[in-house]
Copies of this chain bind each other. A is one copy, B any other.
Amino acid sequence: MKLSKLLSLVTVASVATVGLGAADIKLSEDEMKKATQVYFDRCAGCHGMLRKGALGPSLEPEKSIAMGTEALKVIINDGTPGGMPGWGKSGELTPEETALMAKYIQIEAPQPPEKSMADMKASHKLLIPVKDRPTAPEAGAENWKDYFAVILRDVGQIAIVDGKTKKVVSVVPSGYATHITRTGASGRYMYVIGRDGKASMIDLWMKEPKNVAEFRPCNDARSIDTSKHKDYMDKYAVIGCYWPPSIVTVDADTLEPMKIVSTASYTYDENVYTREARVAAIIASHEKPEWVINVKETGQVWLYDYSNVMNPKITMVEAERFLHDGGWDLSKRYFMSAANARDVISVIDTQEGKLVKNIPSQGTKPHPGRGANVDHKKLGPVWITGHIGSNDIVAIGTDPVNHPKNAWKVVKKFQLPGEGGGNLFVKTHPNSKYIFADRPVNPDRKLQTQIYVIDKEKLEVVKTIPIPEKYLKSADPKVKARGPVHFEFNADGSEVWTSIWGNKLTASPILVFDSNTLELKSVIDDKRLITPTGKFNVTNTMTDTY
């Protein structure tokens, strides 16, 4: 629905021109539209809008034509051991859709539209001007610093849940399949970015938090953050676009656009021009007026100095392809960033503005989220990540001054029990003895539906907590809810929250555990909680605690 505008903008290749080298493949205009939407929803994230590949391999016609329609159908239906989901098998694509996509990827990718400032401005909505917003937290909003923003992924909404009362305070519309939410340094606003490129900001000082502004600078996006340096505190926000590949700076009070910078450039290693140089994770430095920006396809981390906002100063640091997610080490000096398709963690020293090292992650497709930091008694400070493609959890030393022998290498590696990867997130808090890991994309139902509890000192899995079947129910018995996904702590770290990755048919609960006794303390069961995935506590987000 929200994609209709995008699709109307996409230059749909006409029947006459699609047959480049595959003259027998013809799609009608309706089929092209349908396939373009499916591609955007399911394929573009890993293979790229222009199909040049990233986490997934290239799908350019030269290659796909050689594979042929039948082989492609099998792959799309069944998936691959390398991490490609079986879209047919899982029921997410019908056999007709699978067949359509097998044809679609043999023809030239339609050129996605560009967006100018004029296009962007047309999408900007200042819903509540600054002067009409509260000047202090309203009555009833006293707990706002312990609120959680919960992504309701498949319905395009954000639930604001009170971390103390465990009540849903409000449900606010957002972009499609929100990827992340971030607070500013003050925590007052929750910034939300949809995969469809729509940004929104929620005012947490309202008794019933609402969106105060909306803006859609991109057709596809993954990241948002604010200026966190003390001299520019929450003055600007930044949106990282997948398409058009760009960095969009906006006014942090209104989301009003100010500046666009293209990320299209040359790959760091082979120096090949890459139009689709997508902006993956962005993280705001607390020490410098800089955003640390992963440019996925070119393998560069851009240190974007916003102090002169219309004349940015960008240090283009060579790291590794294809950069995706990452987070701070314990000192918040080093940005630990996963180049997932290369099985590498790139360490960026944001103080010196340079790459420290590309570290082999000793697993397949690292996916840290922000990762987990532990000040380990023997090893010193370590940063921890899991992997999508293998069951390895690794700890990397991050203190070159007091623990030089451990710095910038894997100092401990251990496994989640059972075969295969499927881990998406690890998370901890200084007030918990444990790190928590999920495994929602492991194909094994049992492994998928457990919480993996890692002891911070032993650095091994000390317990698995199976999720009782009653929380995994779905209105349709054929479509099962996936296991828990993503963890977040409350402000004081005494509780850890996870959510069931259900489907649109019914609500799914958030489960709240004591972060030290591991006891299930509460179940937040609210009919509005449809497909709750990412959860972001205000205090932990504003302080980058993980």
Contact = CB atoms under 8 A, between A and B. Distances in A.
A243 to B, nearest CB: 11
A114 B264 CA distance: 13
Contact of A261 (B265, B310, B354): B265
Interface of A: 17, 114-118, 120, 244, 246, 257, 259-262, 264-266, 270-273, 308, 310-318, 353-355
Given A246-B266, A266-B260, A266-B262, A116 B272 contact: yes
Contacts of A272: 114, 116-117
30 contacts: A116-B270, A116-B272, A116-B273, A117-B270, A117-B271, A120-B271, A246-B266, A257-B271, A259-B271, A260-B271, A260-B273, A261-B266, A261-B316, A262-B262, A262-B264, A262-B265, A262-B273, A264-B265, A308-B353, A310-B318, A311-B315, A311-B317, A311-B318, A311-B353, A311-B354, A312-B315, A313-B313, A313-B316, A313-B353, A314-B315
A114 B260 contact: no
Nearest to A274: B262
A109 to B, nearest CB: 15
A397 to B, nearest CB: 24
A424 to B, nearest CB: 31
Contacts of A264: 262, 264-265
Given A312-B316, A313-B313, 19 more contacts: A114-B272, A115-B273, A116-B266, A116-B271, A117-B271, A244-B273, A246-B273, A260-B265, A260-B271, A261-B265, A262-B264, A262-B265, A262-B273, A264-B265, A308-B353, A310-B318, A311-B316, A312-B315, A313-B314
Nearest to A115: B273
Nearest to A261: B265
A318 B355 CA distance: 29
Contact of A314 (B17, B270, B316): B316
Closest 9 CB pairs of A and B: A117-B271, A262-B265, A313-B315, A116-B272, A260-B266, A114-B273, A260-B271, A311-B317, A264-B264
A203 B255 CA distance: 56
Contacts of A246: 266, 273
A118 B270 contact: yes
Contacts of A266: 116-117, 246, 260-262
Nearest to A308: B354
A69 B136 CA distance: 67
Contacts of A316: 261, 311-314
A486 B265 CA distance: 36
A17 B19 CA distance: 13
A116 B265 CA distance: 11
Contacts of A116: 266, 270-273
| Most-contacted residue by chain B among A259, A262, A310, A314 (CB, 10 A) | A262
A294 to B, nearest CB: 15
Contacts of A262: 262, 264-266, 273
Nearest to A258: B271
A205 to B, nearest CB: 32
A304 to B, nearest CB: 10
Nearest to A271: B117
Nearest to A314: B314
Contacts of A310: 318
A177 B80 CA distance: 55
A483 B7 CA distance: 58
Nearest to A298: B262
Nearest to A354: B311
Contacts of A117: 266, 270-272
Contacts of A311: 315-318, 353-355
Contacts of A270: 116-118
A312 B265 CA distance: 13
A299 to B, nearest CB: 12
A310 B314 CA distance: 13
A347 to B, nearest CB: 14
Nearest to A118: B270
A474 to B, nearest CB: 44
A16 to B, nearest CB: 9
Contacts of A260: 265-266, 271, 273
A273 B120 CA distance: 12
A116 B311 CA distance: 28
A17 B257 CA distance: 38
Nearest to A277: B262
Contacts of A115: 273
Contacts of A120: 271
A376 to B, nearest CB: 31
Contacts of A265: 260-262, 264
